[in-house]
Amino acid sequence: MEYIHAPWRAQYVKNVYKTKGCIFCQALKQEDDREAFILYRGRNNFIILNKYPYTPGHLMIAPFRHLDSPEKATKAAAHEMGDIQVLCLKILRDHYQPQGFNIGMNLGKCAGAGVASHYHIHLIPRWPGDSNFMPLVGETRVVIESLETTFEQLAPRFREHA
């Protein structure tokens, strides 16, 4: 049997329910977008890399305002989120050439939201065979690219649209 080590997952597994405060609000307060993995800031929303991605390029779009549901957002913020989603799709298609995407949001803890108090959209590039037995058997995901590499490759593409 071959072993694939994914030590970065240990921090998540140990701390998934211990995190205090909102990860999105905390990221916005950081002065260094690279350190926070914020790829883009719009007028009302921002794009951030998922620190525990399903696949390379797993992005999240969240509003600046700490809201638990999109119906509480302004019309301008909701429309901008849609425009940013289209921008993400264009950049991810161009850079990674995925054969598909999962796009969605989980509203409320019982719906699977890891951060139920600050709504956000997940955009996950997908390829045939990108999921395997590791999450089921080993409670580990193998991602072929580090967050730093993903940030360095995608950030310049989003800066073109700032």
What is the C-alpha to C-alpha distance for residues 126 and 101, in angstroms, rounded to an integer? Answer: 5
What is the C-alpha to C-alpha distance for residues 67 and 85, in angstroms, rounded to an integer? Answer: 18
- The confidence score (pLDDT) of residue 144 equals 63
- The confidence score (pLDDT) of residue 134 equals 42
Which has more confidence, 82 or 14? Answer: 82
Structure tokens given for 143? 């991602």
Sign of CA dihedral 113, 5, 99, 94: positive
- Given a cut of 90, is residue 97 above it in pLDDT? yes
Mean pLDDT of 5-25: 66
What is the C-alpha to C-alpha distance for residues 160 and 139, in angstroms, rounded to an integer? Answer: 38
Structure tokens given for 8? 């970065």
Give Rg (Cα) of the chain. Answer: 16
pLDDT 10s digits, 25-66: 999 999 999 999 999 999 999 999 999 888 889 999 999 999
| Domains defined along the chain, listed by start | 24-159 (3.30.428.10)
Which has more confidence, 17 or 45? Answer: 45
- The confidence score (pLDDT) of residue 17 equals 52
Q: What is the pTM of this model?
A: 0.79
Q: Enumerate the active-site residues.
A: 120
| Helix 147-159 and helix 75-96, axial crossing angle in degrees, nearest 10 | 120
What is the C-alpha to C-alpha distance for residues 21 and 138, in angstroms, rounded to an integer? Answer: 29
What is the C-alpha to C-alpha distance for residues 118 and 111, in angstroms, rounded to an integer? Answer: 14
Which has more confidence, 148 or 39? Answer: 39
Which has more confidence, 3 or 134? Answer: 3
| Band of pLDDT at residue 20, cut at 50, 70 and 90 | confident
At a CB cut-off of 8 Å and minimum separation 6, what does 56 contact? 96, 125, 143, 144, 145, 150
Which has more confidence, 64 or 160? Answer: 64
- Given a cut of 80, is residue 106 above it in pLDDT? yes
Length of the chain: 162
What is the C-alpha to C-alpha distance for residues 50 and 146, in angstroms, rounded to an integer? Answer: 11
- The confidence score (pLDDT) of residue 109 equals 86
